[in-house]
């Protein structure tokens, strides 16, 4: 099987969660139909991050929703998460691969065409690219790459491409039209008073757009090592 990234890639960050606990936010997201969640906490200790990820993995175990840990391959392995998402300052992809179990998978952040090309040469299972638009979800965001940058990134890789940065209900569809297989959303989800309703809105808009634009299909990437293949449907 290949890796089929859901159109909506939700990111939980306690600093942006409006007072919701990670578990409450995760429960609202998966009950809305979200099938891929990343947990990101730049301020937690290693122990706190591990304990939260264990809690989330147990919560999501029978939900059909998958859990990615931001930055920390060691925590992803220890908590038995489904994978890790690596930034440019984290472990290189191939080193993280040594830490993870064979079935776990890796995403990597990129912020330029050169980084996309470099990521495409690794065993990363998907590539995140952005910020597409201005964002306040990171303390020191990278320069905006825009929709044209996203189109160039799409031409540079055959791996699943996740767009991130400033994505809202209003612009999510044009991001998919520009080549993204999935949209990663933080503030666009967490900033509202009703997280479940907002997630359903995103899913509905993305589903309708895909149905209406049949030439735009979700990208399936098949890895050489079949033991690591996993299909995420949503």
The two tokens of residue 215 are: 């030439």
Looking at residue 136, what is its pLDDT?
Answer: 78
Using only C-alpha atoms, the chain has a radius of gyration, in whole angstroms, of: 16
Domains of the chain from N-terminus onward = 3-213 (3.20.20.70)
CA atoms within 13 A on the CB side of 10: 33
CA distance 139 to 108: 19
pLDDT in tens, 32-58: 999 999 999 999 999 999 999 999 999
pLDDT score for 3: 66
What is the rounded CA–CA span in Å between residue 42 and residue 16?
12
Mean pLDDT of 201-211: 95
Instruction: Tell whether the model's pLDDT for residue 166 goes beyond 70.
Output: yes
**What digits encode the pLDDT tens for the residues 120-161?**
999 999 999 999 999 877 677 789 999 999 999 999 999 999
Q: What digits encode the pLDDT tens for the residues 97-115?
A: 999 999 999 999 999 999 9
* Packed helices 146-156 and 113-120: angle between N→C axes, nearest 10 degrees: 20
Region 21-37: what's the mean pLDDT? 98
């Amino acid at each position: 099987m290949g890796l089929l990234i859901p159109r909506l890639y939700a990111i939980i960050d306690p600093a942006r969660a409006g007072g919701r606990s990670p578990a409450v936010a995760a429960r609202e997201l998966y009950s809305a139909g979200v099938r891929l969640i990343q947990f990101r906490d730049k301020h937690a200790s290693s122990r706190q991050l591990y304990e939260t990820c264990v809690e989330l993995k147990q919560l999501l175990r029978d939900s059909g929703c998958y859990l990615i840990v931001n930055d920390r391959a060691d925590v992803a392995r220890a908590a038995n998460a489904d994978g890790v998402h690596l930034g440019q300052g984290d472990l290189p992809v191939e080193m993280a691969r040594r830490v993870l179990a064979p079935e776990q998978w890796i995403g990597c952040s990129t912020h330029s065409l050169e980084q996309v090309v470099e990521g495409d040469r690794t065993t990363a299972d998907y590539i995140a690219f952005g910020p597409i638009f201005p964002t306040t979800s990171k303390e020191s965001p990278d320069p905006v790459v825009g929709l044209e940058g996203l189109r160039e990134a799409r031409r540079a890789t055959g791996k699943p491409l996740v767009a991130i940065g400033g994505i809202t209900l209003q612009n999510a569809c044009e991001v998919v039209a520009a080549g993204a297989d999935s949209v990663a959303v933080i503030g666009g989800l967490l900033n509202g008073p009703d997280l479940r309703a907002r997630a359903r809105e995103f899913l509905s808009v993305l589903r309708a757009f895909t149905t209406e634009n049949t030439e735009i299909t979700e990208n399936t990437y098949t890895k050489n090592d079949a033991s690591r293949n996993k299909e995420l449907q949503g």
